[in-house]
Homo-oligomer: A and B are copies of this chain.
């Protein structure tokens, strides 16, 4: 059995997927978790379209790659370096390689809709990881094409595409700032240990 911390540590963004099919009930399990997330005024401004159709995946990839070519040519220098270092190009093979894509839409008229949708995506990623499914949060540079392609009402906007499947690449270890760099006590820069006065230190 896992706990949330284990899942959070184990889960890593994957860009290379095996094409083997997955059990869609695992995806539905994760969406079931996501729909239970809190949201601004409980408006639940999220909708998820599960993409399993191969022809549709090809079209989605084509729209995304067209937008990526433009984005890559205009990216700031630091991002170009980062993309190069990570081996990220305009090619988005994972959009046709992964057996399933989850297209996540947000209802743009609701209060805190972006915040609510992304909080739910946090739930979703952990639930997918629990079921042994690899994922990536891929945000295409342009999104309006998705409304037409999938008959989505205009008051919903594509927020992210999450390819889901089995990882083809081996999982690297994650680079993250230590807890001491991101958690403070009562004031910016004051180490969290100060809040632990008297009790044992936090063991990671």
Contact = CB atoms under 8 A, between A and B. Distances in A.
Q: Give how many copies assemble into the complex.
A: 2
A163 B200 CA distance: 23
Contacts of A150: 186-188
Interface residues of A, number: 81
Given A44-B176, A125-B38, A195 B31 contact: no
A35 B4 contact: no
A38 B53 contact: no
Contacts of A174: 36
B5 A41 contact: no
A186 B48 contact: no
Interface of A: 1, 3-5, 7-9, 11, 13, 23-25, 28-38, 40-42, 44, 46-53, 56, 79, 82, 111-112, 114-116, 118-123, 125-127, 130, 137, 139, 150-153, 159-160, 174-177, 179, 182-189, 192, 195-196, 199-200, 202, 204
A5 B24 contact: no
Contacts of A199: 23-25
